[in-house]
Chains A and B, each alone.
Chain A
Amino acid sequence: MNGQDTADASGHVYDIIVKDRAARGPAPHLDDYRRVCAEFSWESARAMLTGLPGGGLNIAHEAVDRHAAGPRAERVALRWLGRSGARRTLSYRELRAETNRFANALVALGVQPGERVFVLAGRVLELYVAVLGAFKAGAVVCPLFSAFGPEPLATRMTLGDARVLVTTDTLYARKVASLRERLPGLRHVILLTESGAPAGVPGTHDWSTLLAECSTDFEIVPTNADSIALLHFTSGTTGRPKGALHAHGAVLTHHVTGHYVLDLHDDDVFWCTADPGWVTGMSYGIIAPLSNGVTNLVVEAEFDAQTWYGVLQDEAISVWYTAPTAIRMMMKLGLEALAAYCLPRLRFMASVGEPLNPEAVVWAMQAFGMPFHDNWWQTETGGIMIGNFAAQDVKPGSMGRPIPGIEAAIVKRSTGGAIEIIGDPDVEGELALRRGWPSLMRDYLHEHERYEKCFAGEWYLSGDLARRDADGYFWFVGRADDVIKSAGHLIGPFEVESALMEHPAVAEVGVIGKPDPMAGEVVKAFVALKAGFAPSDELRKQLLGHARKRLGAAVAPREIAFRENLPKTRSGKIMRRLLRARELGLPEGDLSTLESDER
């Protein structure tokens, strides 16, 4: 492979990174890509899991109890670094006891299997205990991002019919208390406090008081591979967020990708920097590392490049899974910042969230002596589907090749819902996966029709545009829809537009993703005002503050621009695509549906 080149969209040429077969560390699990793919089947991979003693399958049993009952019982399962320097650890044995306590607490509260337990907190250990304990009780876990504002929280808790919410006293006071009346189905709110002392807020339970009375023994509620375990909200172009449902069987994908893609070995210390309020932090910040029985690091503090280098060194991280925005911030800090650190244990680095630009992959060779291994997946796929592997050559800028057990193709949608598979290399089309892997979503909550639209026969259609080269490597091209990807988070333009529409001055809004060197894209809103309102700097700030209060910093626009009129189709639909093309100076494309143009 040496001597071949790869080129990115702008024609920049990057050398293929050829792996040194005598590299440090243990032999990679996926040593021979073709052989492992040929021999792999999901049925035989099931032997990597244990299953419940009486038959059936439960994520928490695979992630906690089976290790607690074996030689890994005293191994640290979760190692937590607090914001102010505090440290706590839970061994697999202790994690079994704590999660049993919480499962007992849910049963005592009358929570039924299948009912929804929402979690909204920063990266504190109790969050991990709550998630795993809820699995044990047969509840469906739905994570919420702690930087969401009240509106995204209310929407998701309403759509998901939240029965229980585990959150902190601070987040409750700031964002949830005012929503309680709108959430009649939310029967129990359980509050965590930083000190561990009861918060004593009316209408809530205290975590510590509740758990103190509960036994550390619990028999996992019988679940099987098809029992729903997780509800992950994700954003679409139109309408409300989609609630992707995943079953306990998904743990097999989490385990297998932890094994083959993240290359987790028994003595690894693993750090996934993603927040468990999003799907990566759930699948790879909780389930995959624990299922593989390694020590999983949890860092409470927000991103800070130098703190992170210190964590990599001091915690002797061997496998690290992070995201492009953070990597680009580290690049900006420069190589000198890394010079003071010594990272002999670091063996494998991966990235997900949005495509990793080739410069970042190459920079990592200088900075860490190894590349970041980009991979691709979505909330709907539940786990990594396409990736770059420890023992395989890396083409900078490519998302890699399908994991064992996954067949990916580039397809073109034709009329009548059919698709055509594109066999030729280097042709752009939609990335599709042949269904049949265990972590594929089972449905969109209450929206089965929307779910059905994601499939054409045996193929799941991702909505991502990509191409495949002659060596079988996939390259991301763009989104087929208007969804915005900012700092690795998927943002639905409709949700942002709806919040701005609530402001009395606003007549219409179109929201787009504007390219940004750091975050990939940032949210930009175009606003037309109602009669009687005039554009002003004061009003712009008012709208910005209004949106941020409702949506939170992660979802709200960073930029607002006024227009007299927004481009619309005959049916009155705002043409975001045209707003975006004009913002970026791109060709405007087909304007045949344009009825009323931008002014």
Chain B
Amino acid sequence: MNEQQIRAMVADALAEIAPEVDVGAVDDSSDLRQALDLDSMDFLNLVIALSQRTGCQIPEADYPKLYNLKNMAAYFAD
């Protein structure tokens, strides 16, 4: 999955969790939690949504790899 696809997927997932945010305004290395005012529950819900959309099991230990869009793209690349 490339970065553009990741952005679209994250935007789609966040439309359910935090509809007020603009994922387009976030640069790819910013921590999404700070850039978008997401709290830990939001983040947890985002991970669950991404897991459902990609069909990937995401173990808790991998959560730190999902804090920004760049790392997310790398994580879901394979």
Contacts and interface: CB of A to CB of B under 8 A. Distances in A.
B75 to A, nearest CB: 16
Contacts of B61: 306, 333, 337
Given A541-B15, A553-B38, A302 B20 contact: no
Contacts of B15: 541
A174 B35 CA distance: 11
A204 B18 CA distance: 31
Contacts of A343: none
Interface string A291-327: 0000000000011111100000000000000000100
B20 to A, nearest CB: 4
Nearest to A550: B20
A570 interface: no
B60 interface: yes
A519 interface: yes
B64 A545 contact: no
Contacts of B63: 304
- Interface on chain B toward A: helix, strand, loop, or mixed SS? helix
Interface size class of A (residues with CB under 8 A): 20 to 34
Given A541-B19, A548-B18, A147 B40 contact: no
A554 interface: yes
B77 interface: no
A329 B64 CA distance: 14
Contacts of B64: 304, 306-307
Contact of A553 (B16, B18, B19, B60): B18
A172 to B, nearest CB: 14
Contacts of A518: 41, 44
A541 B16 contact: yes
A289 interface: no
A302 B60 CA distance: 15
Given A548-B18, A548-B20, 12 more contacts: A333-B60, A337-B60, A487-B39, A518-B41, A541-B15, A541-B19, A544-B19, A544-B20, A545-B19, A548-B19, A558-B41, A558-B45
Interface of B: 15-16, 18-20, 33, 37-42, 44-45, 60-61, 63-64
Interface of A: 147, 174, 302-307, 325, 329, 332-334, 337, 486-487, 518-519, 522, 541-542, 544-546, 548-549, 552-554, 558
11 contacts: A304-B64, A329-B44, A337-B60, A337-B61, A486-B41, A487-B40, A487-B41, A518-B44, A541-B16, A549-B20, A553-B39
